[in-house]
Structure 1
Amino acid sequence: MGSTKYITSMGELSRKDNSLCFRKNQKNVYLPIENIKEIYCMNEISINTKLLDYISSKNIMVHFFNYYGFYSGTFYPREQYNSGRLLVKEVEAYHSEKRIVIARKIVKAIAVNIDEVLYHYYKHNNKEVKNTIDWIRGDFKKLIYEQNDIQSIMLLEGELWQRFYSAFQFILPTDFMLNKRVRRPPDNPINALISFGNSLLYTKCISIIYQTHLNQTISYLHEPSESRFSLSLDLSETFKPVIVFKTIFDLVNNKKLRVKDHFEKKVNYCILNETGRQIFIQAFEERLDKTFVNKKLNRKMTYKTAVKMDCYKLIKYLLEDKDFEFFSLKEGQ
């Protein structure tokens, strides 16, 4: 997959011979170009067209984030994998019953993974989360197959996430309480972590989809949009409980992230400071590289590979009508 480079400081990124040079505080830091597949600019970074031309020739993506840690946009090299046959099938699926099938599978996978995350806390004597687990295993399982249009499926997805968020009060300490999910901008530390983590996962999915023949703009649960890569929104949803929220719960409950030390006081602690971002990014990347045993293939794989596997499952379904399920933490596939 290639490596990821994060730049969290202000500075200037340029080409220097056959390397990348990041200049900050009058000092140069050189980044060997070999194996780099994506660069995250998490602060104000100056670049030039010479650099963009060079990294485009190397098929490197650059993701830009704003002051609040929100995804702003991506420098996207020209497509290296194109398939007219698959593109036709993607469009056909969007306009057929297959869209409903795929959308249901996405929301079902979200529920399965939320269930597994919450069950971990239930097993460790946190019985208060049982109501949400029971709803997922009972009412939700019936309701998901009764929804026959995208709007109804998305409403059920919204209820699923809301029930998950309501369980946070039993998992997180009081200074990370979630009273209401607020996105742009976040209004407290936990909303800041959720928004930052979701943005990182969304851009990671953009980079992974780029390595396949799928078209970034054709989605099935979310409506296709001219201003975003909506397929990345679809594919990232199922991995949020596994990657984003497990990362948040670990960092907060083990006091690796603390409100007074890792959030900006001047904006009411609703933005991670540079140290906080670095801690979260490191944990996020470690989570992506964490291995599990894929029971179906009987071999170890990383969560990052699992995201790409979901892309291939979708491709096979579109081209060959091969039935599939999106990633399940419980089944390990």
Structure 2
Amino acid sequence: MKAVKYLTSMGELKRKDHSLIFRNERGHTYIPIEGVKEIYCLNEVSINSKLFELLSKAGITVHFFNYYQQYTGTFYPKEGLVSGRLTIKQAEAFHQVRMPIAKAIVGGIANNIYYVLYHYYTHGSKELKPFLNWLRKEVPLLLEKDINIPQILFIEGTIWKRFYDSFQYFLPESFLFNKRVRRPPDNPMNALISFGNSLLYAKTISQIYRTHLNQSISFLHEPSEGRFSLSLDLCEVFKPIIVFRTIFENINNRKLQVGKHFDKELNYCLLNDSGKKIFIQSFEERMSKAFMHTKLKRKVTYHTAIKLDAYKLIKFIMEGEVFRPFDDKEKQ
């Protein structure tokens, strides 16, 4: 199985014969090109056009992040999986059946947040009961109504806000926060959420790239220039069970600590190098761990689950099959 390579320090990524070499002030590291499928540049990394040719031939995707650990862009090889017919149908679906897809995504977010919080409810956080009841009973009723996209987005925003408010019942005080701040994150929890969401967004881009879907035509988020809005759509339901489970487990097991793993400046807070390495290792382990899929009757990883949601969307667009995004109860 091909690996994912993370470059966490500043340096230069170059072509060396028919392989890769990463150079920085500490020396150089050879990266055998045959064993890599994705590279994540989490710091300032210089790359030249010669290297892009090699990366393209080898089918390697490269994701770039800025100083604030937020996703900025992706290089991926020339698109081989392009379907004009599907792109036309996807655009038609945006105009004709956008609502059921958007509602399904928000319903999927609510379901997966429920499963994440139910664990803490059964382990003593009884204060979560009203929110759990609301997720299970009220949200489906709200989504059944004849509502528009702004109203669907309002429901989604309310779900996330109440989710953030619930952290006080099972996380240490040092990781609590008043509100979600993104650019740049201003405290340890915002830093973890931004970093985790950016990683998941990049993973989703890679998985959609392996299908015939057009990344720019989305359904919950507005299609826009300058970002892959379909990836924003499909990664949403996975945030609770991938990003937030990774965050909660690292905090509650004291693998990540405010005093040791974050750099705090006047108006922002970021994971330091050791914190990034801890989070990345946990994130990759979660993404790659195989679980039995109850419907498919075979083992899959979250990498596969994301790609399967893309295929479900294709089935809906092309054949009208009901789109139901990944639900954590499908895992055993």
Instruction: Give TM class, smaller chain.
Output: over 0.9
What displacement does 1:68 show?
0.9
- Which range is displaced more, 69-78 or 6-15? 69-78
Aligned-residue CA RMSD in angstroms? 1.4
Task: Write the letter of the residue equivalent to 1:203.
Answer: A
Structure 1 segment 82-231 matched on structure 2, within 5 A: 82-96=82-96, 98-231=97-230
Residues 1:34 and 2:58 aligned together? no
| 8 Å Cα contact 1:147/1:153 also seen in 2 | no
2:25 counterpart residue number: 25
Unaligned runs of 5+ in 1: none
Instruction: Tell me what 2:50 maps to.
Output: 50
- Report if the CA contact (8 A) 2:64-2:74 is conserved: yes
Residue 308 (structure 2) aligns with: 309
User: Structure 1 residue 324 and structure 2 residue 315: aligned?
Assistant: no
Is the partner of 2:102 in helix, strand or coil? helix
Would you say how many aligned residue pairs link Structure 1 and Structure 2?
Answer: 332
Distance 1:323 1:71 in 2: 32
Give CA deviations for 1:39-61 in whole Å, capped at 9, x if unaligned: 10011111111111211222222
What are the superposed Cα offsets for residues 89-124 of structure 1, whole Å, 9 maximum, x if unpaired? 10000011x110100000000000000001011111
Distance (Å, rounded) in 2 between the aligned partners of 1:226 and 1:184: 19
Paired with 1:240 and 1:118, the residues of 2 have a C-alpha distance of: 13
Instruction: State the alpha-carbon separation in 2 of the partners of residues 164 and 34 from structure 1.
Output: 42
Could you tell me which residue of structure 1 aligns to residue 261 of structure 2? 262
* Separation in 2, partners of 1:278, 1:172: 22
Distance 2:317 2:113 in 1: 27
Distance (whole Å) between structure 1 residues aligned to residue 323 and residue 150 of structure 2: 23
CA distance in 2, matches of 1:165, 1:10: 33
Contact 2:185 2:268 in 1 (8 A): no
**Structure 1 residue 232: Cα displacement:** 0.4
In the TM superposition, what is the alpha-carbon distance from 1:331 to its structure 2 partner? 3.0
Distance 1:297 1:206 in 2: 23
Aligned 1:254-293 pairs, distance under 5 A: 254-267=253-266, 270-293=269-292
Shift of 1:186: 0.8
Give the match for residue 71 of structure 1.
Answer: 71
Deviations 1:142-166 (A, max 9, x none): 0011142111111110001111111
CA–CA separation in structure 2 for the residues paired with 1:125 and 1:193: 25
Q: Distance in 2 between matches of 1:235 and 1:11?
A: 32
Distance 1:165 1:136, change over 3 A: same
Q: 1:278-327 CA deviation, whole Å, 9 max, x = no partner?
A: 11111111110122221111122111111111011111111111123100
User: For the residues of structure 2 that align with 1:26 and 1:274, how far apart are their CA atoms?
Assistant: 15
Instruction: Provide the TM-score with structure 1 as the length reference.
Output: 0.97
Letter in 1 for 2:55: I
> How far off its partner does 1:2 sit?
3.6
Task: Give the aligned residue type for 1:16.
Answer: K
Contact 1:263 1:269 in 2 (8 A): no
Q: Structure 1 residues 158, 20: closer, same or farther in 2, change over 3 A?
A: same
Q: Indicate if the aligned counterparts of 1:60 and 1:77 stay in contact, CA closer than 8 A.
A: yes
Which one-letter code corresponds to 1:74 in the other structure? T
Secondary structure, aligned partner of 2:329: coil
Task: Give, in whole Å, the separation in 2 of the partners of 1:267 and 1:46.
Answer: 28
| Distance in 1 separating the partners of 2:306 and 2:35 | 19
State yes or no: 1:234 paired with 2:233: yes
Amino acid in structure 2 at the alignment position of 1:321 = G
C-alpha distance in structure 1 between counterparts of 2:89 and 2:59, whole Å: 26
C-alpha separation in 2, matches of 1:127 and 1:147: 34
Other structure's SS at 1:110 match: helix
Change (3 A) 1:147 1:244: farther
Unaligned runs of 5+ in 2: none
Maintained 8 Å contact 1:201/1:240: yes
Residue 169 of structure 1 aligns with an amino acid whose one-letter code is Q
Task: Note closer, same or farther for the CA distance 1:158–1:239 as it changes in structure 2 (3 Å cut).
Answer: same
Q: Distance in 2 between matches of 1:148 and 1:332?
A: 31
Q: CA deviation at 1:26?
A: 5.4
1:58-103, CA deviations, whole angstroms, 9 ceiling, x for partnerless residues? 222211111110111112322110111111110000011x110100
